[in-house]
């Protein structure tokens, strides 16, 4: 078949959304995913190669003559997957290992921000259990305790309770040797996915994740329980400040020190005055933010990601739908502390078709076992709606999720609550 051969690395909802976007791109001939999930297997070719096995991914890319590899998760980027692919002449969407340190080490990210004057929370590194009480006196509650490990958003404790904060600090010091204690930033969160290479950057529509497991933003942090885009908290004025104060300095810095051809995920806290500060950087697309961002791109996704991977982003134009998108995550029983898996998921082929209003189920932790879909992870899938208004997108997503059946599963009923005020 004519068109590019694209390999997507990963097996979550983000990768299913990327696979759908690639299948719909006129410039694409074949879409491969490794390892993929039950959802990607119905639209693309899955390969049983782990997303952390960088050597096997490079071999697979060579075997299928991939024109472009799009790397979903951070771990293979930190391990140098993009460097290895580029050394073989294969275009990779994802930064090199030097660029990926921005997510691989929160301490390094803080150092970079402080050096560049990028606005973020003050931070204290605590390496000794004997310093814990004194360090807690340095900040007002609530305390923000961050382990410096790749923990998918789950290595952070935000608490008003001094004992809980001190236990989190001690546990982290004992397991990792040190921990970061941060100033609490009040405000509303938003994420901006910035596609970049050395020639240019393009900000995709801002989105808002819902990180806490429970309604009303209660309970422990998760990888993300739902999202919507565009997020109105990112007004034009806020976006201009984000670009000027955060994206431009980061772009200039990254272009100088690394081969940063990929996505910079800017996690923001926006205070009541509209002042943005960085909560975190990730070096990849967000999950579930991707599920609500990619469907809003109306131009060819392969052209966008391929141009970034080849360093020619400044040559292309991107267009967006003037729609809204909302996704609701269906999580396994016990998630986020422990997830019960291996259960049948019914109804995951539900969809709504239309030009203006459409929706589908993005698979995440699923696999096919003898033609049946079975859960394999904490976040099993998410139901996504796209429509002219956010309330219609929400209606589609909730109608789709009510058609899913998975024993013991749970989902939040209030995704989009800051805008929809149900
Ligand atoms: P992170 O893994 O750094 O994104 O943190 C996970 C979540 O903890 C964020 O999405 C925020 O909801 C919260 N958080 C992290 N750092 C801060 C901070 N300094 N102030 C307020 N909330 C924070
Ligand atoms: N949704 C948060 C993340 O992708 O890190």
The values of phi and psi at residue 374, to 5°, are -125, 145
Answer yes or no: are the C-beta atoms of 287 and 309 closer than 8 Å.
no
pTM of the model: 0.96
Q: What is the 3-state secondary structure (H, E, C) of 142-202?
A: CEEEECCCCCCCCCEEEECCHHHHHHHHHHHHHHHCCEEEECCCCCEEEEEEEEECCCCEE
Assign 2 to helix, strand or coil: coil
For ligand 1, whether the C-beta of 181 sits within 6 Å is no
| Ligand 1 atom with least separation from CA of 155 | 2
Instruction: Say how far apart CA 1 and CA 27 lie, in whole Å.
Output: 11
Assign 324 to helix, strand or coil: strand
152 lies in which domain range?
Answer: 122-182
80 and 137 co-located in one domain:
no
10 and 58 co-located in one domain:
yes
Instruction: Say how far apart CA 145 and CA 157 lie, in whole Å.
Output: 5
Q: Which of 148, 158, 270 is the pocket-test mutation for ligand 1 (most atoms within 8 Å of CB)? A: 158
Instruction: Say how far apart CA 41 and CA 46 lie, in whole Å.
Output: 6
Q: Which ligand is closest in space to the CA of residue 144?
A: 1
Q: Which of 18, 75, 104, 153 is the pocket-test mutation for ligand 2 (most atoms within 8 Å of CB)? A: 153
pLDDT digits (tens, 9 = 90+) for 300-323: 999 999 999 999 999 999 999 999
For ligand 1, whether the C-beta of 185 sits within 6 Å is yes
Q: Which ligand is closest in space to the CA of residue 224?
A: 2
Instruction: Say how far apart CA 223 and CA 290 lie, in whole Å.
Output: 13
**Dihedral class, residue 187 (left if φ above 0, else alpha if ψ from -120 to 50, else beta):** left
Task: Give the H or E element holding residue 236.
Answer: helix 236-242
Instruction: Say how far apart CA 381 and CA 225 lie, in whole Å.
Output: 10
Which tokens go with 3? 């068109």
Compute, in angstroms, the gap from residue 293 CA to the centroid of ligand 2.
13
Going by their DSSP bridges, the two strands 358-363 and 351-352 should be labelled as antiparallel
Q: Is residue 192 part of a domain?
A: no
CA of residue 263 relative to chain centroid, distance: 10
- Would you say residue 41 has pLDDT above 90? yes
Compute, in angstroms, the gap from residue 268 CA to the centroid of ligand 1.
9
CATH code of residue 27: 3.40.50.20
Walk across the sheet containing 351-352 and list its strands: 208-209, 226-229, 324-331, 379-387, 358-363, 351-352
Answer yes or no: are the C-beta atoms of 381 and 361 closer than 8 Å.
yes
CA of residue 220 relative to chain centroid, distance: 18
Instruction: Say how far apart CA 133 and CA 218 lie, in whole Å.
Output: 26
Q: What angle do CA 65, 284, 254 make, to 5 degrees?
A: 100
CB neighbour class for 115 (10 Å; exposed up to 12, middle 13-18, buried from 19):
exposed
Answer yes or no: are the C-beta atoms of 225 and 212 closer than 8 Å.
yes
Residues with CB under 6 A from ligand 2: 153, 209, 224, 282, 286-287, 289
Q: Is residue 49 part of a domain?
A: yes
Please report how the helices 106-116 and 248-257 are oriented relative to each other, as an axis angle in degrees rounded to 10: 110
> Which residue's CA is the closest to the ligand 2 atom numbered 3?
286
Compute, in angstroms, the gap from residue 239 CA to the centroid of ligand 1.
20
Question: What is the per-residue pLDDT for 122?
Answer: 96
19 and 63 co-located in one domain:
yes
Other C-beta atoms within 10 Å of 217: how many?
Answer: 15
Answer yes or no: are the C-beta atoms of 301 and 382 closer than 8 Å.
no
- Would you say residue 243 has pLDDT above 60? yes
Q: If you average pLDDT over residues 56-60, what whole number do you get?
A: 98
pLDDT digits (tens, 9 = 90+) for 317-355: 999 999 999 999 999 999 999 999 999 999 999 999 998
Q: Which of 149, 156, 222, 224 is the pocket-test mutation for ligand 1 (most atoms within 8 Å of CB)? A: 156
Please report where in the chains the tokens 């429509």 appear, as a residue.
387
For ligand 1, whether the C-beta of 266 sits within 6 Å is no
Compute, in angstroms, the gap from residue 13 CA to the centroid of ligand 2.
11
84 and 130 co-located in one domain:
no
| Ligand 2 atom with least separation from CA of 280 | 5
Band the pLDDT of 24: cuts 50, 70, 90. Answer: very high
**Which of 161, 182, 203 is where one domain is finished?**
182
Residues 6+ apart with CB under 8 A from 136: 143, 162, 165, 166, 169, 181
Answer yes or no: are the C-beta atoms of 213 and 336 closer than 8 Å.
yes
For ligand 1, whether the C-beta of 144 sits within 6 Å is yes
**Which of 182, 213, 233 is where one domain is finished?**
182
Q: Is residue 87 part of a domain?
A: yes
Residues 6+ apart with CB under 8 A from 110: 120, 123, 180
Compute, in angstroms, the gap from residue 156 CA to the centroid of ligand 1.
7
Instruction: Say how far apart CA 153 and CA 136 lie, in whole Å.
Output: 22
Question: What is the per-residue pLDDT for 196?
Answer: 98
> Which residue's CA is the closest to the ligand 1 atom numbered 6?
153
pLDDT digits (tens, 9 = 90+) for 159-180: 999 999 999 999 999 999 999 9
Q: Which ligand is closest in space to the CA of residue 227?
A: 2
> Which residue's CA is the closest to the ligand 2 atom numbered 5?
286
- The count of domains in the chain is 2
64 and 127 co-located in one domain:
no
For ligand 1, whether the C-beta of 121 sits within 6 Å is yes
Q: Is residue 151 part of a domain?
A: yes
> Which residue's CA is the closest to the ligand 1 atom numbered 12?
211
Instruction: Say how far apart CA 325 and CA 356 lie, in whole Å.
Output: 11
Handedness of CA 185, 188, 193, 197 (dihedral sign): negative
CATH code of residue 157: 3.30.1490.20
Q: Is residue 140 part of a domain?
A: yes
Q: Which ligand is closest in space to the CA of residue 221?
A: 1
Band the pLDDT of 221: cuts 50, 70, 90. Answer: confident
| Ligand 2 atom with least separation from CA of 285 | 4
Answer yes or no: are the C-beta atoms of 388 and 356 closer than 8 Å.
yes
Q: Which ligand is closest in space to the CA of residue 287?
A: 2
Instruction: Say how far apart CA 351 and CA 20 lie, in whole Å.
Output: 13
Residues listed for the chain: 422
Q: Which ligand is closest in space to the CA of residue 208?
A: 2
Q: Is residue 278 part of a domain?
A: no
**Which of 40, 60, 95 is where one domain is finished?**
95
Question: What is the per-residue pLDDT for 370?
Answer: 93
| Ligand 2 atom with least separation from CA of 209 | 1
| Ligand 1 atom with least separation from CA of 267 | 4
Q: Is residue 30 part of a domain?
A: yes
- Would you say residue 397 has pLDDT above 70? yes
Handedness of CA 98, 101, 107, 109 (dihedral sign): positive
89 and 126 co-located in one domain:
no
pLDDT digits (tens, 9 = 90+) for 262-308: 999 999 999 999 999 999 999 999 999 999 999 999 999 999 999 99
Instruction: Say how far apart CA 298 and CA 25 lie, in whole Å.
Output: 9
């Amino acid at each position: 078949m004519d068109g590019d051969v694209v390999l997507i690395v990963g097996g979550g909802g983000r990768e299913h959304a990327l696979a759908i976007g690639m299948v719909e791109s006129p410039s694409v001939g074949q879409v491969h995913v490794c390892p993929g999930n039950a959802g990607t297997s119905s639209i693309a070719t899955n390969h049983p190669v782990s997303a952390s096995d960088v050597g096997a991914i490079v071999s697979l890319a060579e075997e299928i003559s991939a024109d472009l590899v799009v790397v979903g998760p951070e771990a293979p980027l930190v391990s140098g997957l993009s460097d290895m692919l580029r050394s073989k002449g294969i275009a990779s969407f994802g930064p090199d290992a030097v660029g990926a340190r921005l997510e691989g080490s929160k301490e390094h990210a803080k150092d970079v921000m402080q050096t560049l004057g990028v606005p973020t929370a003050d931070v204290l590194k605590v390496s000794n259990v004997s310093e814990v009480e004194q360090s807690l006196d340095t900040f007002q509650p609530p305390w923000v305790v961050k382990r410096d490990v790749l923990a998918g958003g789950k290595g952070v404790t935000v608490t008003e309770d001094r004992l809980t904060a001190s236990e989190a600090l001690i546990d982290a010091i004992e397991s990792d040797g040190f921990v970061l204690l941060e100033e609490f930033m009040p405000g509303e969160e938003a994420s901006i996915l910035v596609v970049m290479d050395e020639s240019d950057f393009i900000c995709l529509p801002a989105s808002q994740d819902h990180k806490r497991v429970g309604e009303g933003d209660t309970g422990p942090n998760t990888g993300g329980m739902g999202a919507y885009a565009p997020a109105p908290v990112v007004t034009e004025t806020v976006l201009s400040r984000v670009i000027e104060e955060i994206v431009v300095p980061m772009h200039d810095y990254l272009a100088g020190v690394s081969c940063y051809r990929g996505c910079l995920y800017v996690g923001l806290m926006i205070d009541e005055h509209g002042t943005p500060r960085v909560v975190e950087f990730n070096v990849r697309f967000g999950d579930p933010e991707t599920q609500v961002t990619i469907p809003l791109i109306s131009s060819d996704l392969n052209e966008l990601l391929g141009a970034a991977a080849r360093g020619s982003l400044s040559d292309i134009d991107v267009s967006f739908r003037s729609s809204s998108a909302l996704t609701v995550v269906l999580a396994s029983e016990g998630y986020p502390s422990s997830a019960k898996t291996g259960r049948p998921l019914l109804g995951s082929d539900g969809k709504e078709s239309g030009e203006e209003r459409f929706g589908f189920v993005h698979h995440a932790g699923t696999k096919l076992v003898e033609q049946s879909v079975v859960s394999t992870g904490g976040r099993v899938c998410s139901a996504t709606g796209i429509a002219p208004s956010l309330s219609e997108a929400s209606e589609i997503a909730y109608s789709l999720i009510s058609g899913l059946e998975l024993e013991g599963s749970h989902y939040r009923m209030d995704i989009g609550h800051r805008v929809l005020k149900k």
